[in-house]
């Protein structure tokens, strides 16, 4: 019988993964705007400010959210009211519930407890994500249908066809991973990626399943309706697709759903093909054994990073002095002070732990936990950036090209991948 502490732990884990996913959304919107601006060689949003502080456009997000919250949520007279109101909620809910099986660190042993860092350690974990994302299509379909608008309906139909088509190669690409790692449990798959291949290469999914990784990443792009597969909302052809009739926070829910889907896809790509929380060459037990060194290195890295960033900010604020004639010039000094404080804090803790030869068991485990969570976050953030990178570098497909790629290239290639994997595994006789 589970005690109250178990419920607290499960609640904390659910809160953590949702906080992780949701706090990445504003970061991603910022990434998208600044990334687009960078790729198109322009400045990007830089006007919204709170007392002159604009933090390279991050403040713009706040003004965006306020705008969306204040806007009227129009319900046009010709729509099917109930479905029109349910649709945005559905999509976002399903995406968020799929985060339940994403593991973000190795199991955490404390006080005789074995806490797996994953909300639900399902036996067929990865299939759960597939199931939930296959439900996600209903949000889009309902939005398109209930809007009672030809463009919206076209967008909904396109998205349905696209998601059904690309779910097949997505699932087939996973079969290779199941065969190599012998499990569908996400944490087991990540643990299997901790070994070394030929003594130097980490046994990541991308190295043992290169074709599968490419197929999976392409299909994941299509599943999250991102460019080059953003036909459902192709604004040059069907205005904005399924969310034409939406405004205010309901529109924002679609938008947030899209970014949450990016985070989910990135987390999946990281977990399955890029080692998840595994730090290459340093399995958990090794980190725990050398935890004092790890802690010192991490603190020293934090201190050095903060000081370097502070120095850069100082130089920058000197360079722009007198250029604008408003509070914008104070921004450099503000960030400089912030980083000096952070660096000082890191140094203080570093001096405190410098004398320690070994940490207590819980301390060592916590160090490993923090290191692994950071690794997972960095990898996920990198893949989020790739999503944005691709969006602003590639043109959109034509619809028949999209279908041809899905059915005539990717599905045969995924079958080929399964066959090759089976033959190689049989030759190596690993199973």
**Contact set with other proteins (CB under 8 A):** 83, 122-124, 127-128, 130-132, 134-135, 137-138, 141, 144-145, 153, 156-157, 160-161, 163-164, 167, 184
How many Cα atoms occupy the beta-carbon half-sphere of 257 within 13 Å? Answer: 25
How many Cα atoms occupy the beta-carbon half-sphere of 323 within 13 Å? Answer: 10
Using alpha carbons only, how large is the chain's radius of gyration in Å? 24
CB of 329 to other proteins, least distance (A): 55
Distance CA 371, CA 287 (A): 9
Nearer to other proteins, 178 or 349 (CB): 178
Nearer to other proteins, 2 or 355 (CB): 2
CB of 187 to other proteins, least distance (A): 14
Nearer to other proteins, 123 or 337 (CB): 123
CB of 94 to other proteins, least distance (A): 10
CB of 123 to other proteins, least distance (A): 5
CB count in 10 Å sphere of residue 77: 7
CB of 120 to other proteins, least distance (A): 9
Nearer to other proteins, 109 or 130 (CB): 130
CB of 162 to other proteins, least distance (A): 11
CB of 104 to other proteins, least distance (A): 21
Q: What angle do CA 71, 72, 74 make, to 5 degrees?
A: 135
How many Cα atoms occupy the beta-carbon half-sphere of 287 within 13 Å? Answer: 27
Nearer to other proteins, 19 or 131 (CB): 131
Nearer to other proteins, 137 or 335 (CB): 137
CB of 135 to other proteins, least distance (A): 6
Nearer to other proteins, 161 or 420 (CB): 161
- In 3D space, the residue among 109, 116, 92, 141 whose CA is nearest the CA of residue 13 turns out to be 116
Nearer to other proteins, 153 or 410 (CB): 153
CB of 242 to other proteins, least distance (A): 12
Tell me if 176 sits within 8 A of 417, measured CB to CB: yes
Nearer to other proteins, 91 or 144 (CB): 144
CB of 82 to other proteins, least distance (A): 9
Tell me if 174 sits within 8 A of 421, measured CB to CB: no
Tell me if 421 sits within 8 A of 180, measured CB to CB: yes
* The residue to which tokens 């398109």 are assigned: 144
Nearer to other proteins, 59 or 87 (CB): 87
């Amino acid at each position: 019988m589970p005690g109250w502490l178990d419920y607290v732990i499960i609640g904390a884990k659910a809160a953590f993964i949702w906080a992780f996913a949701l706090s990445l959304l504003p970061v991603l919107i910022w990434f998208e705007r600044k990334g687009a601006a960078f790729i198109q060689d322009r400045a990007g949003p830089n006007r919204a400010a709170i007392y002159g502080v604009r933090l390279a456009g991050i403040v713009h997000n706040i003004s965006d959210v306020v705008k969306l919250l204040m806007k009227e949520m129009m319900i046009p007279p010709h729509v099917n009211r109930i479905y029109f109101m349910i649709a945005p909620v559905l999509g976002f809910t399903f995406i968020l519930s799929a985060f339940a099986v994403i593991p973000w660190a190795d199991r955490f042993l404390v006080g005789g407890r074995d806490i797996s860092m994953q909300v639900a350690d399902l036996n067929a974990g990865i299939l759960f994500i597939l199931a939930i994302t296959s439900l996600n299509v209903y949000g889009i379909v309902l939005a398109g249908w209930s809007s009672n608008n030809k463009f919206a309906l076209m967008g909904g139909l396109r998205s349905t066809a696209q998601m059904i088509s690309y779910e097949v190669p997505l699932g087939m690409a996973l079969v290779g991973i199941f065969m190599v790692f012998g499990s569908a449990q996400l944490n087991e798959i990540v643990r299997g990626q901790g070994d070394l291949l030929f003594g130097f290469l980490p046994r990541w999914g991308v190295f043992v399943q290169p074709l599968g990784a490419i197929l999976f990443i392409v299909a994941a792009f299509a599943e999250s309706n991102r460019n080059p597969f953003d036909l459902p909302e192709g604004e040059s052809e069907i205005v904005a697709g399924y969310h034409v009739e939406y405004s205010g926070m309901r529109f924002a829910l679609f938008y947030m759903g899209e970014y949450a889907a990016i985070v989910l896809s990135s987390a999946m790509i990281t977990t399955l093909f890029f080692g998840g929380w595994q730090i290459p060459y340093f399995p958990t037990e090794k980190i725990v054994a050398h935890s004092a060194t790890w802690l010192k290195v991490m603190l020293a890295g934090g201190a050095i990073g903060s000081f370097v960033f502070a120095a850069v900010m100082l130089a920058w604020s000197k360079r722009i002095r007198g250029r604008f004639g408003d509070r914008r010039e104070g921004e450099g000094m503000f960030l400089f002070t912030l980083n000096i404080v952070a660096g000082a804090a890191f140094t203080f803790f570093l001096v405190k732990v410098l004398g320690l030869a070994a940490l207590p068991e819980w301390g060592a485990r916590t160090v490993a936990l923090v290191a692994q969570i950071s690794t997972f976050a960095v990898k996920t953030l990198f893949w989020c950036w790739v999503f944005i990178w691709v969006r602003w570098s590639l043109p959109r497909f034509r619809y028949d090209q999209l279908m041809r790629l899905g059915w005539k290239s990717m599905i045969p290639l995924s079958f080929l991948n399964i066959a090759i994997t089976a033959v190689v595994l049989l030759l190596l006789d690993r199973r």
